[in-house]
Amino acid sequence: MYPQPYPKSSNCHMVSLIGNATTGVLVEMTPEDELASNCPACGTGRLKVRSMLYSVPFFNELAMFMVRCPKCGFSHNDVFSAEQRRPSRFSLRVDDESLLNVRIVRSGSCTYRLPEWGIEVEPGPSADAFISNVEGILFRVRAVVESACRFAELKAEKERASKILEEMKAAMQGQFPFTLVMEDPAGVSGIFPDDMTLVQYKELTPEEASELKGAPVWVDALREDISERKG
């Protein structure tokens, strides 16, 4: 069972974001605050954080927090949920051009896959979270494949990358069906079309979740710090 949409609070000043990836999402920007955590890059700067509160249909309340170090300039984005969530997997078969506009949420602990192309993107120290749409995922991955194609030394590698790019171009025009899979041991990521029956949803077992690469330790510490502040 999916959670019901989060109601708009009369106590918060909310604004609506514009664009295919965020239409209908409500957001509250909080003042910048200082965390107890030190910067993972320079080790001495005290991190500053600002969060944006989103109301995502079928997912209740999410907060995108933006962290920066005023000393060295380090910055990082992640998605946080005040609710305790279970490890999860969302799968969507994209066989219609309209599904390119389906909203997705990717946290810093999410692994996403495009099986038709053998592509898997795991979390890492520089893996920013984002709220976008399916087409946005393709744009991000396409840029990586284009780079791989340019620098490929073997003919077979270059041909393989070129073939993927051709198929991605067709996919962006709704002419090449593909599958998007998102898995998150923190349960904060997901795929959210207006019709949730289009999505295959599964709660992962502890064994399945343990096989996923989670967020870096310092990100988990940040999430815990922010959770304590939210009470």
The verdict on residue 40 lying in a domain is yes
Does residue 215 form part of some domain? yes
The domain that contains 190 carries what CATH number?
A: 2.60.120.1040
Do the domain assignments include residue 4? no
Assign residue 24 a region: left if phi > 0, alpha if psi is -120 to 50, beta otherwise?
Answer: left
Listed as ranges, residues in the chain with pLDDT below 50 are 1-27
The answer to whether residue 166 sits within a structural domain is yes
Sign of CA dihedral 163, 107, 2, 15: negative
User: pTM for the complete prediction?
Assistant: 0.78
The number of folded domains in the chain is 1
Q: Is 5 among the domain residues?
A: no
Contact 100, 174 (CB under 8 A): yes
What DSSP string describes 43-82?
SSSEEEEEEEEEEETTTEEEEEEEEE-TTT--EEEEEE-S
How high is the pLDDT of residue 98? 95
Q: What's phi and psi for 64, nearest 5 deg?
A: -90, 115
Residue 5 tokens, joined = 């949409």
Its sign, for the CA torsion 7, 10, 15, 16, is positive
180 with 92: CB under 8 angstroms?
Answer: yes
Residue 135 covered by a domain: yes
Contact 25, 56 (CB under 8 A): yes
pLDDT, residue 186, reads: 87
What is the domain range of residue 148? Answer: 15-230
Dump pLDDT digits (tens) for 111-149: 999 999 999 999 877 677 888 899 999 999 999 999 999
Q: What is the pLDDT of residue 62?
A: 77
| 10 in any annotated domain | no
